[in-house]
């Protein structure tokens, strides 16, 4: 059986750096260390407000990585231009609201449909693998297929919150399981991410058909206590 890939999101290394306006801790250093410790890809989200990762991080990380860079972007003209210029191997299109603390839900695939189709077409032609970050429901998965995405990333935020709060997560897990099965059935590669901890990743790793997990906030937070190599190794062990 093919192993599940671990994408390590290093946005919050940049959050800590930016909190003091210094040059450290360096997201590039974190990306190189994560690569050395077994990350299968590195994820960065270049937000419109550059609140964590900035253009210079994108430049340095993209030119130094040997493993694929997964660039998360909103569906805007500015981000399309940047992604076309840097040609990251993977691009994940995400919704973005300026005031949100983090990506609050999946993409609204009824909105800017024509523009989304154009972005996907242009980025695929430019040799980037395209993923759409969506909620676990059949209707959005069908739309992602019609838009010609290569992959979908299922937003696991609701499920993870229920796990964190020790609440009943079965309904949410069932939605994710059905979404993963449906996505695979119609020929999409299925990923999962947002809010994952050791506990929620362990539960979701039992879902057949998820090819990639993208994990950031908890993994980087855990590194404060155990170090980045150990938190990556622990996640690799859990999701294998």
Closest to ligand PXP by CB, 182 vs 213, is 213
Q: Is the peptide bond before 25 cis (omega within 30 degrees of 0)?
A: yes
Catalytic residue flag (residue 78): no
Binding marks (x or -) toward ligand PXP, 75..94, rule CB under 6 A? -----------------x-x
Of the ranges 23-31, 114-122, 187-195, 202-210, which one interacts with ligand PXP (CB under 6 A)? 187-195
Binding of residue 103 to ligand PXP (CB under 6 A): yes
User: Could you tell me the smallest distance in angstroms from the CB atom of residue 195 to ligand PXP?
Assistant: 4
Which one of residues 5, 45, 47, 158 is an interface residue with ligand PXP (CB under 6 A)? 45
Binding of residue 172 to ligand PXP (CB under 6 A): no
Closest to ligand PXP by CB, 26 vs 231, is 231
CA 127 vs. chain centroid, Å, equals 18
Applying the rule CB under 6 A, the residues between 195 and 234 that interact with ligand PXP are: 195-196, 214-218
Gap between the Cα atoms of 156 and 158, Å rounded: 6
Closest to ligand PXP by CB, 35 vs 96, is 96
Per-residue three-class SS string for the chain: CCCCEEEEECHHHHHHHHHHCCCCCCHHHHHHHHHHCCCCEEEEECCCCCCCCCHHHHHHHHHHCCCCEEEEECCCHHHHHHHHHHCCCEEEECCCCCCCCCCCCCCCCCCCHHHHHHHHHHHHHCCCEEEEEECCCHHHHHHHHHCCCCEEEEECHHHHHHHHCCCCCHHHHHHHHHHHHHHHHCCCEEEEECCCCHHHHHHHCCCCCEEEEEECHHHHHHHHHHCHHHHHHHHHHHHC
Which is catalytic among the residues 52, 194, 212, 222?
A: 194
Binding of residue 159 to ligand PXP (CB under 6 A): no
Binding of residue 72 to ligand PXP (CB under 6 A): yes
Catalytic residue flag (residue 12): no
Catalytic residue flag (residue 153): no
Binding of residue 194 to ligand PXP (CB under 6 A): yes
Which one of residues 35, 40, 135, 153 is an interface residue with ligand PXP (CB under 6 A)? 153
Catalytic site positions:
45, 72, 194
> Applying CB under 6 A, which residues contact ligand PXP?
9, 11, 45, 72, 92, 94, 102-103, 133, 153, 193-196, 214-218
């Amino acid at each position: 059986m093919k192993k599940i890939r671990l994408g390590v999101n290093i946005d919050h290394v940049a959050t800590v750096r930016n909190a003091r306006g210094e040059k450290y801790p360096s997201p590039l250093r974190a990306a190189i260390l994560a690569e050395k410790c077994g990350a299968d890809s590195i994820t960065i989200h270049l937000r419109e407000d550059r609140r964590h990762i900035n253009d210079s991080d994108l430049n340095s990380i993209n030119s130094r990585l040997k493993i694929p860079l997964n660039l998360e972007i909103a569906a805007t003209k500015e981000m399309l231009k940047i992604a076309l210029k840097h040609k990251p191997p993977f691009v994940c299109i995400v919704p973005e609201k300026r005031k949100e603390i983090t990506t609050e839900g999946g993409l609204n695939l009824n909105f800017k449909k024509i523009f989304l189709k154009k972005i996907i077409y242009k980025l695929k032609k430019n040799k980037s693998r395209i993923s759409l970050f969506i909620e676990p429901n059949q209707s959005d998965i069908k739309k992602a297929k019609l838009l010609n995405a290569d992959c979908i990333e299922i937003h696991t935020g609701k499920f993870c919150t229920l796990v964190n709060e020790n609440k009943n997560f079965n309904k949410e897990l069932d939605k994710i399981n059905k979404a993963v099965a449906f996505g695979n059935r119609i020929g999409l590669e299925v990923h999962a991410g947002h809010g994952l901890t050791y506990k929620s990743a362990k539960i979701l790793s039992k879902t057949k058909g998820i090819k990639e997990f993208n994990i950031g906030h908890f993994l980087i937070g855990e590194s404060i206590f155990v170090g980045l190599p150990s938190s990556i190794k622990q996640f690799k062990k859990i999701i294998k």
